[in-house]
């Protein structure tokens, strides 16, 4: 039930302190500003393993680093590399680690000062590491609750940035949901509209339309959200509407599903103990899952631009 955790391996290569090194060799002071005050930003990128081609297909690499740069701007973090360089470093880590399985890439930029005092001054640091990652959640039907924790508003901690500190909000909601027997939590905004799930955007199917909260609903502007909207419009000719969503529209929906790099496309079959639609995966979510995986795993020429291939030979690990 719920989401899984995936352990990092100390013997794997990562990027830290301006160089490639083994994860287990990294030294980080407990005085590091970001560790004390949550002044970091991060990304989550997936690379899908293809047995057939012997490649890892890195999904939406550039888009993730573009968002990373925007998150950095919010916290006045100066990135020491261009987006092209960040993409190259990431591909080099993957080549060295040579995972022949689905893998998650975690870039992290943070305030690295080792002095006490809350501000956004001081030097920035960059680390990038990878972990193997299968399905983060079950893809056959999640049971969610609406959280008693509200999403942090843009006026206090902006959800638009992928800020390490704001994931306290997420952790509180996930902890509450799991302890109550649910798989995940859905946040409402401060004014009571549906925002997003713990680490995924949310979509509803109602009367043949795909509806999702707008970017002003204190959401992370998801890259998978964009992918879903593109696939729905182009491949399924379903109109996509971004608008405020009431809590009870979740109960009334024909289908509800979540989208995210980690979550992928995860149908929700119950909210607050109420069955959604037929209580099992709906036809729109099912078809979108198929289309998404076809494009994300690099098996669809029309969507070749979504992924970058990294060749991984057997025994490639250095």
Of the pair 17, 158, the CB lying nearest ligand PLP is at 158
**Least separation in angstroms between CB 173 and ligand PLP:** 10
Of the pair 260, 298, the CB lying nearest ligand PLP is at 260
Size of the site for ligand PLP (CB under 6 A): 14
Of the pair 185, 205, the CB lying nearest ligand PLP is at 185
Q: How far is CA 168 from CA 78, 161, 165, 195, 317, in A?
A: 24, 14, 6, 16, 35
Residue 46's φ and ψ, nearest 5 degrees, are: -110, 145
Contact by Cβ (8 Å): 197, 159: no
User: How many angstroms from the chain centroid is the CA of residue 5?
Assistant: 14
The span of 15-23, 51-59, 138-146, 219-227 binding ligand PLP (CB under 6 A) equals 219-227
Residues acting as catalytic residues: 162
Q: CA 227 to CA 292: how far, in whole Å? A: 8
CA dihedral (13, 19, 24, 28) in degrees, to 10, reads -140
Of the pair 34, 199, the CB lying nearest ligand PLP is at 199
Report if residue 69 touches ligand PLP, rule: CB under 6 A: no
Q: CA 77 to CA 141: how far, in whole Å? A: 39
Site for ligand PLP in 31-60 (CB under 6 A): 44
Binding characters for ligand PLP, 162-201, by CB under 6 A (x = yes): ----------------------------------x--xxx
Site for ligand PLP in 248-307 (CB under 6 A): 259-262
**Least separation in angstroms between CB 260 and ligand PLP:** 3
**Least separation in angstroms between CB 314 and ligand PLP:** 30
**Least separation in angstroms between CB 29 and ligand PLP:** 27
Of the pair 205, 223, the CB lying nearest ligand PLP is at 223
Residues engaged in binding ligand PLP (CB under 6 A): 44, 196, 199-201, 220, 222-225, 259-262
């Amino acid at each position: 039930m719920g989401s899984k955790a995936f352990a990092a391996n100390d013997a794997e290569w990562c990027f830290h302190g301006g160089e490639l090194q083994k994860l287990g060799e990294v030294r980080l002071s407990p005085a590091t500003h970001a560790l004390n005050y949550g002044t970091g930003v991060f990304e989550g990128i997936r690379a899908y393993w293809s047995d057939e081609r012997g490649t890892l297909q890195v999904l939406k690499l550039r888009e993730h680093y573009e968002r990373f740069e925007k998150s950095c701007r919010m916290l006045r973090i100066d990135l020491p590399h261009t987006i092209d360089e960040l993409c190259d470093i990431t591909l080099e880590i993957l080549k060295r680690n040579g995972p022949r399985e689905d893998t998650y890439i975690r870039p992290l930029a943070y305030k690295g000062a080792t002095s006490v005092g809350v501000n956004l001054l001081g030097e920035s640091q960059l680390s990038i590491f990878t972990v193997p990652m299968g399905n983060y959640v079950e893809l056959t039907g999640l049971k969610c609750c609406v959280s008693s924790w509200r999403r942090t508003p843009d006026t206090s901690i902006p959800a638009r940035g992928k800020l390490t500190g704001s994931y306290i909000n997420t952790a509180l909601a996930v902890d509450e949901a799991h302890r109550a027997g649910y798989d995940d939590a859905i946040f409402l905004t401060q004014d009571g509209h549906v925002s997003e799930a713990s680490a995924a955007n949310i979509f509803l199917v109602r009367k043949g339309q795909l509806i999702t909260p707008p970017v002003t609903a204190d959401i992370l502007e998801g890259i998978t959200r964009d992918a879903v909207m593109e696939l729905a419009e182009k491949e399924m000719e379903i109109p996509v509407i971004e608008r405020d969503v009431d809590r009870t529209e979740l109960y009334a929906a024909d289908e509800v599903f979540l989208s995210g790099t980690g979550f992928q496309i995860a149908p929700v079959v119950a909210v607050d103990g109420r069955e959604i639609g037929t209580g099992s995966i709906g036809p729109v979510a099912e078809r979108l899952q198929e289309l998404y995986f076809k494009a994300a795993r690099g098996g669809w020429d029309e969507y070749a631009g979504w992924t970058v291939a990294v060749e991984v030979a057997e025994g490639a690990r250095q």
